[in-house]
Amino acid sequence: MKAITLASNGGTENLIFTEIPTPAIKENEVLVRVKAIGINPVDAFVRTHPFALEMFLQPQPGEPVIIGWDISGVVEALGKAVTQWKPGDEVFGMVNFRGHGKAYAEYVAAPADQLALKPGNISHEEAAAATLAALTAWQALVTYGKVKTGEKVLIHRAGGGVGHYAVQIAKHFGAYVIGTGSAAKKDFILGLGADEFIDYTATQFEDIVQDADIVIDSLFGDHIFRSLDAVKEGGRLIALLVPFTDEKLIQKVRAKKVYAHTLNVSSSGEDMGRVAALLRSGEVRSHVSATYAFEDITKAHDEIETGKTIGKIVVSLP
Ligand SMILES: NC(=O)c1ccc[n+]([C@@H]2O[C@H](COP(=O)([O-])OP(=O)(O)OC[C@H]3O[C@@H](n4cnc5c(N)ncnc54)[C@H](OP(=O)(O)O)[C@@H]3O)[C@@H](O)[C@H]2O)c1
């Protein structure tokens, strides 16, 4: 099968378009013929940072390194213990995160319980988009944030992959949503259903919001302190990048009685199924701003590395 392997850490020239054997499936896995792959900032992070291979993929010695976790495709074969799928089913999911997902390939061996049925009303591209990013939004807001009707939710990077799903999921739960982005993203973010937009290039968001029930923070550095200023006393602060290990940060969290959690998104067919239900009902939509051919994966990496994308970018296979 065709696959894209990572020769070594570095630039996009290290992504090698190659032929390798189709993966064998274990008894709890299905073989998925991949139709579309979602691209995430972590893909480029793993490509560029030597320590990230161990941190995210932990490849077996000698096996080809294949980046990527987000797939949508068609079930081709079943492991002996698999009962919930049949050949021909259209499925999508985030495969083995954290672990060696091996998504940049024509075929992926995926644990059967990490997949959900692709809604018939959306394309494989829209489904592949709604995996890691949508699961992150779900787990941040619902699993850990426990969002409720009427709560005020501040979502940073609301125009990006995670953010654009988070806005829609928070609205589904009846929250009052404030999204941040640069002015160019204003119409997009309000169009997702956000009640307010803050242009982070012009305004300090914490000057406007100090009473959020939940803040979803997805930036590095001191941004987390500012997000803490925006949460009300007793509120929830979910971080996607920063661990709550800094002593000053811990003290401030305690003083404000805030529930603070750093999320590491994890593969879950159950959560994928909950996202699928919202995609099926149309309450959540994937905004795919760019689709690249499999052979053009380096262009997708170049784009995701800008940190400026709208919604999601995906790669499409024939
Ligand atoms: N912990 C986890 O499990 C987990 C899971 C998923 C993602 N993440 C991390 O979370 C981050 C977001 O992921 P993503 O996929 O949503 O990224 P993304 O799609 O690349 O985000 C792009 C968006 O970020 C916006 N942005 C950049 N700087 C901003 C700022 N200071 N304030 C507000 N918006 C800003 C950009 O808007 P403008 O162009 O308008 O600036 C752009 O629309 C990444 O660092 C990713 O690695 C962590």
pLDDT single digits (tens) 265-296: 999 999 999 999 999 999 999 999 999 999 99
Q: What is the domain-level CATH number for residue 206?
A: 3.40.50.720
Q: Which residue has the tokens 């923070």?
A: 217
Residues 147 and 103 in one domain: no
Q: Is 244 a member of any domain?
A: yes
Query: How far does the centroid of ligand 1 lie from the alpha carbon of residue 185, in Å?
Result: 13
Q: Which residue has the tokens 């009707």?
A: 149
Domain boundaries, position 201: 133-262
pLDDT digits (tens, 9 = 90+) for 100-120: 999 999 999 999 999 999 999
- Tell me the C-alpha distance between 183 and 155, whole Å: 15
Q: How confident is the model at residue 174 (pLDDT cuts 50, 70, 90)?
A: very high
Nearest CA to ligand 1 atom 8: 240
pLDDT digits (tens, 9 = 90+) for 37-83: 999 999 999 999 989 999 999 999 999 999 999 999 999 999 999 99
Structural domain count of the chain: 2
Query: How far does the centroid of ligand 1 lie from the alpha carbon of residue 35, in Å?
Result: 25
Report yes or no: 254 and 192 within 8 Å, Cβ to Cβ: no
Residues 151 and 50 in one domain: no
Report the share of the chain in percent with pLDDT over 70: 100
pLDDT digits (tens, 9 = 90+) for 3-46: 999 999 999 999 999 999 999 999 999 999 999 999 999 999 99
Residues 98 and 166 in one domain: no
Residue of 218, 225, 313 to mutate, ligand 1, most atoms within 8 A of C-beta: 218
Q: Which residues contact 276 (CB under 8 A, 6 or more apart)?
A: 92, 116, 117, 118, 119
Whether the per-residue pLDDT at 258 is higher than 90: the answer is: yes
- Tell me the C-alpha distance between 318 and 238, whole Å: 38
Report yes or no: 163 and 179 within 8 Å, Cβ to Cβ: yes
The pTM score is 0.98
Residues 249 and 141 in one domain: yes
Secondary element (H or E) of residue 19: strand 15-19
Whether the per-residue pLDDT at 198 is higher than 90: the answer is: yes
The residues lining ligand 1, judged by C-beta closer than 6 Å to any ligand atom, are 40-42, 132-133, 136, 156-157, 159-163, 180-182, 184-185, 200, 218-219, 240-241, 263-265, 304, 307-310
Give the position, in ligand 1's atom list, of the atom nearest the Cα of 40: 15
Q: What is the dihedral of CA 163, 168, 171, 177, to 10 degrees?
A: 30
